[in-house]
A and B are shown apart, each in its own frame.
Chain A
Amino acid sequence: MVYREIPDDEETRNRLWRHALLALVIIVIPVLYSAVTAEVALERSKSLQFCASCHVMTPYVEGLKAPDSELLAAKHYQYRRINHNQCYTCHADYDMFGPAKAKANGLKHMIHYYFAPPRKIALYKPFPNSHCLQCHDGARSFVKAESHKEIIEALRSDEMKCFDCHGPVHPSHVEKGK
């Protein structure tokens, strides 16, 4: 069984170059471009401005920016205790797949926003203290505070919530789902 040899003429060479170019344009460049776009888009989707672009988030963002507000989220934002990506910093989990889950949930939220907007939005699970402690635990102000001395282990184990003393976080009319 002998296969016909591929002729080494100019027409064949041109045909091969065309295929190489097509493969570049149809396969290689789209794959690379998609990877870059996905990474850039997912990174930008962490920003406060991106969260604020959906109108369901407007009350939360207004609460964040209300002047002289004593709400926990507002203080974190206005005193720049979190410099950027304020929503994401508090609301993404910090375990192994936390950022990936946050991004997957974000995509799900977008689909719901356009096709089936919910009447009321709520956290998937009770807000864990670990989201606070990933910044605060170990800090002198947290460890040395008189009020924390007896309850520090309860805070670390989530038996007691940070918000029990430091809340409310967002405007109350929003938190009650009104």
Chain B
Amino acid sequence: MTDMASLMEDRAAAKVISDNLRKPVDWDSPKIARNIKKRYAAERRFKIYGLAAIFLALTALFVLAGSIGSKGYSAFYQTYVQLEVTFDKSVIDPDGTGDPEVIGRANYDGLIKSALRERFPDVTARRDKRNLYGIVSGGASYDLRERVLENPSLIGQTRSVWLISGDDFDMLNKGYIDPAVPEGDRRLNDQEVGWYNELVADGAVDKQFHARFFTNGDSREPELAGIWGAAVGSFYTLIVTLALSFPIGVLAAIYLEEFAPKNRFTQIVEVNINNLAAVPSIVFGLLGLEVYLNVMHLPRSAPVVGGLTLALMTLPTIIIASRAAIKAVPPSIRQAALGLGASPVQTVTHHVLPLAMPGILTGTIIGMAQALGETAPLLMIGMVAFIVDVPGSALDPATVLPVQIYLWADSPERAFVEKTSAAIMVLLAFLVLMNGLAVYLRKKFERKW
């Protein structure tokens, strides 16, 4: 019936066209020429608009990446100072026990201080000495301790050692402190700059790859602060999020798409899921605070709570993506399976789900990437915190990468500016990796129908 009707319509349309065709068109007439010119101009304009849009987006991206990169690359290396350190036996191991416990407790800070005093013997005033000790970071004593514990034969010897420098000297060496500005206006006074120049002249200042940035937890000393603690926190949080939101999301999507009757109830559920996907993340944070902390009494600041909260946030994303992926599996696959005697559950688990998996995984990874970049809900559950210890489980207090960026961006010390940018680079690298994985999975398992 409908076929007949459309056939009649087609015929009528064809007649109109052929009637017009009968009149010869003068392609050289000025009217047509104008018309064609206009059409070409419109085409060109459209292309220019498109190119301009892409150009703008790319410029914004380059400016962002450029400013982050130019500020942050210097955080990947660190200034080291070479000093003659005497591993004084009377300080490290006065009784000659060789006991690692005794050696471990020794005052390595004192060794570094006396090495600095020997290097600059004319510094006597108390205040100047304090400035002098600032050349070397407070963390350097731990390096010395490790070194001696590893190689006890050092005790009693004098060796030249490269020690990690303090943050102000690092900034000076990297050119962020300008020695040309008046003395009172900079962090380092003329005497300190003089020491620096003397050390440089002796070849005792060097830049080395800053591995600590990747292996340490947070610290208030910029030169000791690292992102490992935050990265581990992010890892635990995402694991919890994934373990919870992936199975629940996929099950919900399968049920809604394959089994649920289409009635008012499922419609309401559907509208709500779409709505939840647009709810600001801070709302999930408040919910997490109320439910997980106040009612269930889970530990504050723990990745498990962060993960549970972020799972709520990513669930709608995963459900929507999974439903779209399941819908894209052609009905013929289901019909064939059912026709061969598979039960509805077998049809779904053996055929529909494997075919929908690339789409589901893509949606899940994008949801996870979103969760990785989230800070607002974590504020409410206490993950925006200064935490030095690297978390050992999902129950230890932890923070996550974007929160670490926020905390560093808010720190007064100049050296944290480069750390902030470097941490942003690391976070971006993770996001690129995750999105790249999503693209790879899609390309690898995608089926064209």
Q: Do A and B bind each other?
A: no
- Measured CB to CB, the residues of B under 8 A from A are none
